[in-house]
Amino acid sequence: MEFNPNLKILLAEDDKINQRIMILTFRHMGVKCDIASNGKEALEMYQQNLYNLILMDMQMPVMNGLEASRQIRAFEKETGQINRVFIVALTGNDISDKKEECLEAGMDDFMEKPLQDKLFVELFSRL
């Protein structure tokens, strides 16, 4: 499956081991990735950089994934951005009961951990 070689991803994830794994995975795929360690950092980085995709962990200190997504959508609205960034929630386990809340917060899709490389290839080819 082919995907845009200029993809730029923002990974918002507080777990250092998950950060390392995903950096290596994306490097192997030739995709550029910046890291934010909490939702507040993710919001600030999004306000200053262009990304095709934000992978947003749900559980983070300082500001969680839901609140960060809400604030990112509010920022896009305030600044009149036409293309809203694609936000994928990264979740620890079954989130069937949280999906509604994710969508209401402005998230577009979900991925369950442990994350599988082939799902990233599928996701990237859609962007």
Give the per-residue SS3 of 5-64.
CCCEEEEECCCHHHHHHHHHHHHHHCCEEEEECCHHHHHHHHHHCCCCEEEEECCCCCCC
Query: Of residues 4, 59, 116, 125, which one binds Mg ion by CB under 5 A?
Result: 59
Q: Coil, strand or helix: which one is 72?
A: helix
If one asks whether residue 112 binds Mg ion (CB under 5 A), the answer comes out as no
Stretch that binds Mg ion, among 9-17, 61-69, 98-106, 108-116 (CB under 5 A): 9-17
Give 16 or 84: the residue with its C-beta nearer to Mg ion.
16
Query: Of residues 3, 57, 72, 123, which one binds Mg ion by CB under 5 A?
Result: 57
Binding site for Mg ion (CB under 5 A): 14, 57, 59
